[in-house]
């Protein structure tokens, strides 16, 4: 339950979605990177984070909606909260002392 409590905090931020695929749960940040230059180049290319270095262009979300490949997809706090309540019977009692 603790992990989902954290996911709820993450999805409380603007332009953030949560999804699950065959590799696990992930955060989807729907905004442009602050280092993206007007021409499409990376402004910090030489020291770009590892996740950027590992990113493959084999599949692009513009080719098909990414949601189609997700096992689960949440685009709001409310939809994720509903999932948590359904998955964990004691969800609404998690902060109450026994």
- Closest CB to ligand SF4 among residues 43, 69: 43
CA-to-CA distance for 71 and 29, rounded, in angstroms? 18
44 binds ligand SF4 (CB under 6 A): yes
- Interface pick for ligand SF4 out of 8, 25, 28, 48 (rule CB under 6 A): 48
- Closest CB to ligand SF4 among residues 35, 75: 35
CB of 42 to ligand SF4, least distance (A): 3
């Amino acid at each position: 339950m603790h992990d989902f409590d954290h996911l709820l905090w993450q999805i409380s931020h603007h332009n953030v979605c949560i999804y699950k695929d065959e590799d696990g749960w992930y955060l989807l940040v729907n905004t442009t990177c602050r280092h993206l230059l007007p021409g499409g180049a990376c402004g910090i290319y030489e020291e770009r984070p590892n996740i950027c270095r590992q990113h493959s262009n084999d599949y692009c979300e513009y080719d098909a909606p990414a949601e189609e490949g997700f096992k689960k997809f949440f685009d709001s706090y409310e939809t994720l909260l509903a999932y948590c309540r359904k998955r964990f019977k004691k969800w609404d009692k998690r902060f109450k002392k026994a």
